[in-house]
């Protein structure tokens, strides 16, 4: 009879241990499912399908180039701005003007006027830089 009681108590202890282990397994499984679903959400926000249906990675945003009026920096500014904004067919002239104004800092902001459109602001910047470069070549 003593053996039966001891065996029964051991059995109950083992049964309780098994139940606790099963509870931990279920908790871990739920935690893993939540983690996996959040990873899938993050993966979806970083991946976009292109026109061919292939996934492409969404890159971080490129900041607008800035131009402070220093002519020596204009060529670099012009190349970056042209590639990012001027040649972007998805932007209309008003949007391009907005981005151009946001890019101008310091002395370059003095060229702005309220009646500007994109070309009327961008072209004088180019002309001023070209005139300076021509003058600079003559002095060299």
In a domain, 96, yes or no: yes
Between 79 and 113, name the one with better pLDDT.
Answer: 79
Could you read off the pLDDT of 40-88 as tens digits, one per residue? 655 555 555 556 666 667 778 888 889 888 878 888 988 999 999 989 8
In a domain, 39, yes or no: no
In a domain, 3, yes or no: no
Q: How far is CA 134 from CA 20, 68, 98, 130, 140, in A?
A: 83, 20, 29, 6, 10
Q: How many domains does the chain divide into?
A: 1
pLDDT value at position 91? 87
pLDDT-based confidence at residue 18 (cuts at 50, 70, 90) = very high
In a domain, 85, yes or no: yes
Write down the pTM of the prediction. Answer: 0.51
Share of the chain above pLDDT 90, in %: 6
Structural domain of 79 = 71-137
In a domain, 126, yes or no: yes
In a domain, 29, yes or no: no
In a domain, 20, yes or no: no
């Amino acid at each position: 009879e003593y053996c039966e009681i001891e065996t029964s108590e051991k059995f109950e202890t083992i049964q309780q241990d098994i139940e606790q282990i099963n509870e931990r397994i279920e908790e871990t499984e739920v935690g893993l499912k939540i983690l996996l679903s959040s990873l899938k959400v993050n993966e979806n926000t970083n991946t976009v399908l292109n026109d061919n249906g292939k996934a492409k990675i969404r890159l971080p945003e490129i900041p607008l180039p800035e131009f402070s009026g220093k002519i020596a920096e204009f060529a670099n500014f012009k190349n970056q701005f042209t590639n990012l904004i001027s040649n972007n067919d998805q932007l209309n002239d008003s949007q391009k003007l907005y981005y151009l104004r946001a890019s101008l800092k310091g002395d370059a902001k003095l060229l702005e006027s309220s009646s500007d459109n994109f070309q009327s602001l961008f072209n004088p910047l180019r002309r001023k830089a070209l005139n300076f470069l021509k003058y600079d070549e003559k002095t060299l």
